[in-house]
Amino acid sequence: MLKFPPFKTTIFSFSSPFPSSTSSFFIPPIPKSPSLTFPALGLHRLSTTVAMTDDSTMDAVQRRLMFEDECILVDEKDNVVGHDSKYNCHLMEKIEKENLLHRAFSVFLFNSKYELLLQQRSATKVTFPLVWTNTCCSHPLYREAELIDENALGVRNAAQRKLLDELGIPAEDVPVDQFTPLGRILYKAPSDGKWGEHELDYLLFIVRDVGMNPNPDEVKDVKYVNAEELKELVRKADAGEEGLKLSPWFRLIVDNFLYEWWDRVHKGTLPEAIDMKTIHKLT
């Protein structure tokens, strides 16, 4: 298991050509209360009301997750400042008016041939439906096991949970100590006129051969690609061919980090790229 020094945050800004736009850990349930507090943290839910709009067309599964899941709110230095529903955290109106920023993660899973597993998000996803993206992109929740900051353990626990939820990858295939946290990015991206993302995103690499049983409520398709195949997907997305689209966070990571880190996976030098002190602000 890799050992990481304590995080000390520095924020750098980068530009991208992309338009701005089950775990082996016990995870206790969160009581459904708008005034939930963890005594050790002294943090409360920031929003006492949910911004209600017409969601009659929202898929039932996605709607349940939107209201039941509580995201971790952070400031731009990744300090936890509270929590709020997934619903509120993805409303562009609230993102813009209240500057809601939540913690997230992006998993890049490679097989033993060093091919990267991509997923196409399902048509029922509220944000960025049907786009192609990295292996798994989601949020640690406001629960004890996923709030552990030391060595990004909370985020790694969440990643293991969501790889099972979305792709049916058993926890034993992706042990939490096999994830390598490489860095953090901060970005904002609107999905449509209503929904969007504003995330402080942990980037996790893992090399494992895994079993899969994708959940159709979350994932429409999956594929493994090598670096050249990914470059062709990017070219098609840029050209608007085949209606292919990439998620904005994935494109930012591709443009700024992915190919260098992928090369290090091949060479066995990935630990040399770890930088958990810096938060890269990408636009």
* Catalytic site positions: 137, 199
- Classified as helix, coil or strand, 155 is helix
- How far CA 62 is from CA of 47, 105, 242, in Å, comes to 20, 19, 27
For residue 270, how many other CB atoms are within 10 A of its CB?
Answer: 18
DSSP state of 273: G
* Contact of 132 with 119, CB cutoff 8 Å: yes
CB neighbour class for 228 (10 Å; exposed up to 12, middle 13-18, buried from 19): exposed
Q: Which of 281, 260, 282 is nearest to 272 (CA)?
A: 260
Provide DSSP, 239-265: HTGGG--B-HHHHHHIIIIIHHHHHHH
Q: Which of 187, 208, 65, 189 is nearest to 135 (CA)?
A: 208
Token pair for 183: 């860095």
Tokens 């338009």, residue located:
19
Distance CA 105, CA 166 (A): 14
